[in-house]
């Protein structure tokens, strides 16, 4: 198996935007730097960022599809983040200091009848991924093309899947055969731990924030709703767009 890194992404605030990267430095037992470093706890949650808790404690695209259309840019040097959405003015904040401004900005994107966003919390020890371990989400463009074909949607955006590393050059669903195996991507080594179960979040368009594709139905043709895999960094190193990925 040989593939190449087609693109790299991080999501600084869980379920609230995405950002393209050219290169990342991965550390053992950690996720992509600044990926899911913050999350939005809703009014029924007690999450404060001190420990990992399940995603149900946070506002997320599965329950608030308009969040899917957020883009984000985080400047590691200044600590500033810029958020944009087609229905909201751009917002420039320090996510650790301007939490009230963020909550005011995101509140109109929430549907009625859902628990309102209450706190923007910072992860204290590890990224607030959906997995119970600090993970890197690795996805396969060939698998995405299968889903797009089943939906007759050649324009289907990869951002519905919110992955970190996108690989090209594999066969469809080949990534599911990697569970328990190690893959070297660039100079880093990741151990693939589990398949990624999917939810209604993937039905929402990253362009409009409206549900417009039966992605779960397309996956269910194979008897599951899994897409991509979660991997754990076991040897640190650098991963860049264009790097080669090989099973070890």
- Domains of the chain, each with CATH number or no CATH: 2-31+131-247 (2.40.33.20), 38-122 (no CATH)
- Cα separation, 123 vs 113, in Å, equals 27
pLDDT tens per residue, range 167-225: 999 999 999 999 999 999 999 999 999 999 999 999 999 999 999 999 999 999 999 99
Q: Residue 161 is encoded by which pair of tokens?
A: 């899947």
pTM (whole model) above 0.85 = yes
- pLDDT score for 2: 84
Containing 220, the helix (H) or strand (E) segment is: helix 215-220
pLDDT tens per residue, range 141-167: 999 999 999 999 999 999 999 999 999
pLDDT tens per residue, range 98-119: 999 999 999 999 999 888 999 9
pLDDT of residue 90 exceeding 80:
yes
Name the residue with tokens 């053992």.
28
> pLDDT band for position 42 (50/70/90)?
very high
Burial label for 106, CB within 10 Å (0-12, 13-18, 19+), is buried
* Residues contacting residue 97 through CB under 8 Å, at least 6 positions apart: none
- pLDDT score for 104: 98
Q: What is the mean pLDDT of residues 54-64?
A: 95
The answer to whether 20 and 5 have CB atoms below 8 angstroms apart is no
- Cα separation, 244 vs 229, in Å, equals 18
Q: Which residue, among 80, 131, 126, has the nearest Cα to 102 in the 3D structure? A: 80
- pLDDT score for 242: 98
- pLDDT score for 188: 98
> pLDDT band for position 235 (50/70/90)?
very high
- pLDDT score for 113: 87
User: What is the bridge-based pairing of β-strands 165-168 and 136-140?
Assistant: parallel
Contacts 24+ apart (CB under 8 A), 51-54: 51/124, 51/125, 52/125, 52/126, 52/128, 52/132, 53/128, 54/130
């Amino acid at each position: 198996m040989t593939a190449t890194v087609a693109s790299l992404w991080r999501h600084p605030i869980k379920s609230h935007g995405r950002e393209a990267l050219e290169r990342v430095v991965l550390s053992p037992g950690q996720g992509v730097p600044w990926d899911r470093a913050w999350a939005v706890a809703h009014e029924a949650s007690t999450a404060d960022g001190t420990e990992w808790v399940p995603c149900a404690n946070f506002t997320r695209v599965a329950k608030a599809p308009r969040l899917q259309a957020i883009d984000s840019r985080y400047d590691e040097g200044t600590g500033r983040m810029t958020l944009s959405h087609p229905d909201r003015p751009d917002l420039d904040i320090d996510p650790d200091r301007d939490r009230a401004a963020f909550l005011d900005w995101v509140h109109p994107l929430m549907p009625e009848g859902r628990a309102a966003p209450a706190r923007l919390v910072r992860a204290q020890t590890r990224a607030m991924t959906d997995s119970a371990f600090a993970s890197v989400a690795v996805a396969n463009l060939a698998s995405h093309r299968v889903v797009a074909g089943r939906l007759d949607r050649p324009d289907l955006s990869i951002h519905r899947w919110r992955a970190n590393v996108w690989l090209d050059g594999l066969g469809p669903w080949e990534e599911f055969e990697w569970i328990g195996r190690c893959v070297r991507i660039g100079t880093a080594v990741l151990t693939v731990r589990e398949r990624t179960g999917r939810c209604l979040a993937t039905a929402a368009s990253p362009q409009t924030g409206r549900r417009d594709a039966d992605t779960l139905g397309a996956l269910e043709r194979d008897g599951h709703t899994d897409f991509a895999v979660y991997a754990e960094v076991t040897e640190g190193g650098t991963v860049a767009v264009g790097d080669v990925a090989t099973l070890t």
